[in-house]
Structure 1
Amino acid sequence: MTADNEDVTRINFDADWKCYCQRNMNDEIMVTTAENTGTHHDWSLINLPHVVDTKNLCKWWYCKQFERTSVDKQLHLVFESNNHHNDSFDINTVIQLNNIEIFSGSLMSSMNPIELPSKLLHNENSLTICCFNSTLSLHVDLIQHNKFICAVGEVNVTTGQQKDNEVLDYTVGVDDTGGRLDLTFKSKKKYKVPMRPLPSTLECPRRDTPTDEDLLIPRLAIVILIVGTRGDVQPFIALGQALRAKGHRVRLATHETFRSFVRGNNLEFYPLGGDPVDLISFMVKNSGIIPSMDSIMAGDVSKKRRSLSEILASTWQACIANDDETNMPFTAEAIIANPPSFGHIHCAEKLQIPLHIMFTMPWTSTAAFPHPLSNIDNSTGSSKIINRYSYDVIDTLTWTGMRDIINNFRKKILGLSILNTSQAVYALDDERVPHTYCWSPSLVEKPNDWGEHIDVSGFFFLDLGTAYTNPPQDLLDFLHSDEQKPIYIGFGSIAGHDSRRILKVVVDALLQTGYRAVLSGLATEMDQLPPNIFKIGNVPHDWLFQHVSAVCHHGGAGTTAAGLRAGKPTIVVPFFGDQFFWGTVIAKSGAGPQPVPGKSITTEQLIQAFHFVHQSTTCVAAEHLRDAILKEDGCAAAVRAFHANLPLTRMHSDLEPTFSACYRSDKYHLQISRPVAQVLVSANVLQEDQLRPHATRKWHFKHDNHQHIIMHGFFEHSQKAISKMSINTA
């Protein structure tokens, strides 16, 4: 077996064939004979190529039994000439897979590979080839595609003149090791004139963000909807505290496992559905978005669909339900959310309140870089065009997988109309929903084609190290036992990967290099670690990273931010999603090596990475990033961006402006807050039936006026996959 490239494995298929020469041309007799090769005495064992001098008219039958090694690999047969006898060939054949015909015709020297259809493959398979009046004097290889092609389609790109429009073909593939979707764009027509900018890419003037003192910001009941791991939740606890400091009431809605973490930091909590451990395990197993056939057959996808339904239903309750501990009433007046919470825009439409998306990775189309869940390395054409359309393709693919679940949520729970693909995919853009990206602009600048409603604030930091005043003595002894500081190695909340194999790679690399390390996770209590490795429990990163020489982790946004703020060179071992994006960004900054994918990491790769982060140039680059990050206040900048994008005219409450308007009195032409309404009703100035709900943000989902992203063959390997699929990008 050989690997021609990282996407294809070539398996020699010449050995262990059984052969039979049928001189009686009765097909019916031969079918019976071919199904009983194990008992029929006229079959002989041969290896290909099979070269026999024969002048008699006959059929030569060949049969081979083989096992399928993986259910989500695409398989093809390739026939090649036997160089010792002929350089070209033309053999008339019929090929059957498990007694089903898959090919009939001439095997030509220039022919394409013959597909073994996935729907016909079993764990044990029989391949039968019938050659007419000729032996099978060829070599046969089985081609195994590590990348699964799950969708193909095309994108129409508008240029300066209609006749010069360009069509981009694209292919969406998934492989076992990449952790991302491989998007391959190929141009059908080259540009004749400069491309006319799309509406979403027109450069907008930068907004001079007003300070809080310039705006009359009402006190709001804000719900923050976060789906993800601890690394996703922790930054928003810091943001919640910053919003509370401005007088807002803040409810952080996330998974039940983080209840004590949220309430312990003086924020209100409401439980969302879904288990972060299950979510991450699914993401690692399935390259972030697309479920493999293994997952479909194991029932993972059905579980994820149930989880997504639970998450959606709980986002609505998080906006309107009483506190589940104090029973204090709550109705959201603004929503802040990360994209994987999914219910955000639908709940905002139902309540007619503003929405602000905040996230740790790019989710807005740009020409500056591709979607972080995509790999476009094999694409050809304008990089700006390909980058931009990678977002459209990923969004369309995501919507395709969850369309029925979200529309069911809209119709049955929220009482809203269902959305078509164009409305759903472009809703955030069409409605100009404000976005704030919580990474450092010194690491990734805001692209020029993002409008003024999109901000890059800086990282959100929750300082836990100040409360960590009594670290274990054995940890302190290890940290200070040598002049060379140890390396931090840990992979956060990542689950579902081959931890035993990765642990061996880590231990071997440390033993061969002599570096010391503090190890978080991977090892169990039963593992005997060498003396240069110290296993730790829950130690705050902002404290620990001051005592290490470098950090090696999965590339989660939170851990990445903590390591860079500490000025530490960084090795990223990504498993899925934006982890590859952050690994690449760090490598470009010079503060670390190229990312080393966790599913394929080797000892040699990790050794090279260890040496790289101890180079002086790498350390200097990391220190430059630290100096820039320390000058930023991401939470403060995000609060300013949130305030600056509020529809303050509609939120302003007449008579008394402390709280946001939520009712309207047509009699007096007033929009008033809940406390003002209570006073007026108590004083009999107004009756309750004279008040109607006041929309502070009107939502108008546009009609289907976008060019469609054409998609074909989505999950063609399983007719049931679409109806069973769930997408998650936490």
Structure 2
Amino acid sequence: MKAFVLAFGTRGDVQPFVALGRALSDAGHEVLVAGPACYEPLAAAEDVPFAPINDRWNRLTDEPHIQEALATNYRGLKAKRTAIEVVRRTRQYIAAALDDITAAVPAQTDVVVHHTLLPGQHLAEALGVPAVPVALQPNWVPTSAFPCPMFAPSWLPRSFNRLSYRPAALAPAMLLGAVGKHWRARLGLRTRRGSGDPFRRPDGGRAFVLQAFSRHVLPQPADWPGYAPVTGYWTRAGQDQCPSPALAMFLDSGTPPVYVGFGSMRGQNPDAIGEMVQQMVHATGLRAVVATGAGGIAMAGASTDSVHVVDEAPHDWLFPRTAAIIHHGGAGTTAAALLAGRPQVICPFTGDQPFWSERMRSIGVAPDPIPQRHITAERLINAVEATRSDTTMPRTAAEMGELVRSEGGTHRAVELLLEVSADPARTS
């Protein structure tokens, strides 16, 4: 089998696709992963063939007014105007990325695996091969069990749950606008009804969807169809990475630290967050590894005996060596924390992060979440103390870690892709 894998988004979105690429190679298949150029080192570390594509979208959150809108989850008129700007510019950047993808298409591709926000179904149709969209979050396959995590409030009456997934179904085409249609034309395809829906095959049937999260974290609803299996998390990327000598020395010099990092998220006051982290360390007597990431946490001064500051660190290597993990609730970071088997404290910003933070609380691996707009030093201290005073939480986290590690999600995904490439119309 020869797979063309299209990745998109931040590090937590891209890393599972790189892990899939490694698993495909290990199973004897040919693979090329196309993804944001800034994440080429992730693929290089795993020896996965990689085609860099335009990554200007990944730098949108460097801009202060976009950071401000994200921190409020686009609340208010000003933030809504920013959201419109983000959509407009995202379309421009995706158009450039699609040009790069077109130039990178391998000969004799058998299957196109793609992030839901990249219209891989058009490329697959032009090649005459199956397209397999990937759901890193449970946003895309309707269920009556819970409302859509990305687009619906948790208090929605249960009778509206399935209906709440309609905006998600429309989101890929709405985000792309005319970009997807223009790409179809460049690929030599005619416009047809429903072509913008990544979850429909050209013949109108349902596309096979891989849901890359854990059934132990989110029990599979009875009404999820056979064409949307839950594989488990896709892991491997970064497991063999070595940290900096300074980080390794810090870890070896004392008790396991707390990890604090918000990935690509940046709130309105990184300096205040940094001060809160310092207060938490002082009040709890714990050590901390603080990852400043995209600037969500600003730490005054250099590292000390109790606080080690890094830009980023390999989660798969670092998280199992910590006492607890404070993070933003992104799907990728949440998966890494679960796999590490450590208690979590989640401070969600936007999107699906509130959903994952509530799931972690409900399965007993985290205390009540602290939304970014409500974070204080006292709340942070209390949440960290809860991961120690609640004696069942560390045990539950360790047990959950064993369960999700045992699923072998990446290898299951490879098996399913092989079956789909042999039977593109498969529905179970």
Report matched runs for 1:428-443 at 5 Å.
428=200, 431-443=205-217
In the alignment, the residues of structure 1 paired with residue 79 and residue 131 of structure 2 have an alpha-carbon distance, to the nearest angstrom, of 34
Q: What's the CA shift for 1:311? A: 1.7
| 1:454 counterpart SS class | coil
Q: 2:147 touches 2:154 (CA, 8 Å); kept in 1?
A: no
Aligned to 1:507: 278
Aligned to 1:493: 264
Aligned to 1:611: 385
Correspondence for 2:402 among 609, 612, 627: 627
Correspondence for 1:357 among 91, 114, 133: 133
User: In the alignment, does 2:123 pair up with 1:347?
Assistant: yes
Aligned to 2:411: 636
Q: What's the CA shift for 1:345? A: 1.7
Unaligned runs of at least 5 residues, structure 1 = 1-218, 324-328, 649-695, 699-730
Correspondence for 1:581 among 334, 339, 355: 355
Post-superposition CA distance 1:321-353 (Å, at most 9, x none): 358xxxxx6353311011122x21222223221
Q: 1:274 touches 1:308 (CA, 8 Å); kept in 2?
A: no
Aligned to 1:315: 98
Question: Which residue identity does 1:642 align to in structure 2?
Answer: L
User: In the alignment, does 2:271 pair up with 1:271?
Assistant: no
Relative distance call for 1:391 and 1:280 in structure 2 (3 A) is farther
Q: What's the CA shift for 1:572? A: 1.3
Q: 2:263 touches 2:328 (CA, 8 Å); kept in 1?
A: yes
Q: 1:225 touches 1:254 (CA, 8 Å); kept in 2?
A: yes
Relative distance call for 1:256 and 1:442 in structure 2 (3 A) is same
Question: Which residue identity does 1:544 align to in structure 2?
Answer: L
In the alignment, the residues of structure 1 paired with residue 327 and residue 313 of structure 2 have an alpha-carbon distance, to the nearest angstrom, of 15
Report matched runs for 1:196-215 at 5 Å.
none
In the alignment, the residues of structure 1 paired with residue 233 and residue 338 of structure 2 have an alpha-carbon distance, to the nearest angstrom, of 10
Relative distance call for 1:398 and 1:283 in structure 2 (3 A) is farther
Aligned to 2:115: 338
Q: 1:574 touches 1:595 (CA, 8 Å); kept in 2?
A: yes
User: In the alignment, does 2:78 pair up with 1:294?
Assistant: yes
| 1:448 counterpart SS class | coil
Q: What's the CA shift for 1:293? A: 4.2
In the alignment, the residues of structure 2 paired with residue 357 and residue 639 of structure 1 have an alpha-carbon distance, to the nearest angstrom, of 14
Q: What's the CA shift for 1:513? A: 2.9
User: In the alignment, does 2:417 pair up with 1:646?
Assistant: no
In the alignment, the residues of structure 2 paired with residue 365 and residue 252 of structure 1 have an alpha-carbon distance, to the nearest angstrom, of 28
In the alignment, the residues of structure 1 paired with residue 14 and residue 81 of structure 2 have an alpha-carbon distance, to the nearest angstrom, of 31
Correspondence for 1:451 among 222, 225, 228: 225
In the alignment, the residues of structure 2 paired with residue 532 and residue 388 of structure 1 have an alpha-carbon distance, to the nearest angstrom, of 48
Q: What's the CA shift for 1:582? A: 1.5
Question: Which residue identity does 2:91 align to in structure 1?
Answer: L
| 1:321 counterpart SS class | helix
In the alignment, the residues of structure 2 paired with residue 283 and residue 392 of structure 1 have an alpha-carbon distance, to the nearest angstrom, of 28
Unaligned runs of at least 5 residues, structure 2 = none
| 1:357 counterpart SS class | strand
Relative distance call for 1:509 and 1:289 in structure 2 (3 A) is closer
Post-superposition CA distance 1:161-217 (Å, at most 9, x none): xxxxxxxxxxxxxxxxxxxxxxxxxxxxxxxxxxxxxxxxxxxxxxxxxxxxxxxxx
Question: Which residue identity does 2:404 align to in structure 1?
Answer: I
Q: What's the CA shift for 1:427? A: 4.7
Relative distance call for 1:406 and 1:418 in structure 2 (3 A) is farther
Relative distance call for 1:605 and 1:303 in structure 2 (3 A) is closer
Post-superposition CA distance 1:29-56 (Å, at most 9, x none): xxxxxxxxxxxxxxxxxxxxxxxxxxxx
Post-superposition CA distance 1:38-95 (Å, at most 9, x none): xxxxxxxxxxxxxxxxxxxxxxxxxxxxxxxxxxxxxxxxxxxxxxxxxxxxxxxxxx
Correspondence for 1:370 among 117, 138, 147: 147
| 1:252 counterpart SS class | strand
Post-superposition CA distance 1:475-513 (Å, at most 9, x none): 445434445x32111112224643222222222233233
Relative distance call for 1:353 and 1:248 in structure 2 (3 A) is same
In the alignment, the residues of structure 2 paired with residue 605 and residue 340 of structure 1 have an alpha-carbon distance, to the nearest angstrom, of 36
Q: What's the CA shift for 1:270? A: 2.0
Q: 2:110 touches 2:421 (CA, 8 Å); kept in 1?
A: no
Relative distance call for 1:228 and 1:289 in structure 2 (3 A) is farther
| 2:229 counterpart SS class | strand
Q: What's the CA shift for 1:291? A: 8.9
Question: Which residue identity does 1:635 align to in structure 2?
Answer: T
Taking only the aligned residue pairs, the percentage that are identical comes to 28
Aligned to 2:287: 516
Q: 2:172 touches 2:196 (CA, 8 Å); kept in 1?
A: no
Q: 1:291 touches 1:301 (CA, 8 Å); kept in 2?
A: no
In the alignment, the residues of structure 1 paired with residue 346 and residue 59 of structure 2 have an alpha-carbon distance, to the nearest angstrom, of 22
In the alignment, the residues of structure 2 paired with residue 285 and residue 407 of structure 1 have an alpha-carbon distance, to the nearest angstrom, of 29
Relative distance call for 1:269 and 1:519 in structure 2 (3 A) is same
TM-score w.r.t. structure 1 length? 0.52
Post-superposition CA distance 1:515-572 (Å, at most 9, x none): 3211111555753667532213443222222321111111122222222222100111
In the alignment, the residues of structure 2 paired with residue 295 and residue 389 of structure 1 have an alpha-carbon distance, to the nearest angstrom, of 26
Q: 2:267 touches 2:372 (CA, 8 Å); kept in 1?
A: no
In the alignment, the residues of structure 2 paired with residue 288 and residue 604 of structure 1 have an alpha-carbon distance, to the nearest angstrom, of 21
Relative distance call for 1:644 and 1:447 in structure 2 (3 A) is farther
Relative distance call for 1:288 and 1:639 in structure 2 (3 A) is farther
In the alignment, the residues of structure 2 paired with residue 620 and residue 317 of structure 1 have an alpha-carbon distance, to the nearest angstrom, of 47
Q: 1:321 touches 1:330 (CA, 8 Å); kept in 2?
A: no
In the alignment, the residues of structure 2 paired with residue 366 and residue 254 of structure 1 have an alpha-carbon distance, to the nearest angstrom, of 30
| 2:141 counterpart SS class | coil
Post-superposition CA distance 1:79-113 (Å, at most 9, x none): xxxxxxxxxxxxxxxxxxxxxxxxxxxxxxxxxxx
Larger RCO of the pair (alpha carbons < 8 Å, separation 6+) = 2
In the alignment, the residues of structure 2 paired with residue 262 and residue 465 of structure 1 have an alpha-carbon distance, to the nearest angstrom, of 12
Question: Which residue identity does 2:288 align to in structure 1?
Answer: A
Relative distance call for 1:427 and 1:640 in structure 2 (3 A) is closer
Q: What's the CA shift for 1:589? A: 0.7
RMSD: 3.1
Relative distance call for 1:697 and 1:432 in structure 2 (3 A) is closer
Correspondence for 1:254 among 21, 28, 35: 35
Q: 1:457 touches 1:638 (CA, 8 Å); kept in 2?
A: yes
Number of aligned residues: 416
| 1:224 counterpart SS class | strand
Relative distance call for 1:255 and 1:414 in structure 2 (3 A) is farther
Post-superposition CA distance 1:423-469 (Å, at most 9, x none): 7458538531111112222211222111111111111112534442x
Relative distance call for 1:366 and 1:487 in structure 2 (3 A) is same
In the alignment, the residues of structure 1 paired with residue 350 and residue 85 of structure 2 have an alpha-carbon distance, to the nearest angstrom, of 21
Relative distance call for 1:475 and 1:241 in structure 2 (3 A) is closer
Post-superposition CA distance 1:102-125 (Å, at most 9, x none): xxxxxxxxxxxxxxxxxxxxxxxx
Q: What's the CA shift for 1:247? A: 2.8
Report matched runs for 1:70-81 at 5 Å.
none
Question: Which residue identity does 1:403 align to in structure 2?
Answer: G
Report matched runs for 1:320-719 at 5 Å.
320-322=102-104, 330=107, 332-341=109-118, 343-362=119-138, 363-379=140-156, 381=157, 383=158, 385-396=159-170, 399-400=173-174, 402-411=176-185, 414-417=188-191, 419=193, 424=196, 427-428=199-200, 431-462=205-236, 464-468=238-242, 471-472=244-245, 474-483=246-255, 485-495=256-266, 497-521=268-292, 522=296, 527=301, 531-614=305-388, 615-648=390-423
Q: 1:255 touches 1:273 (CA, 8 Å); kept in 2?
A: yes
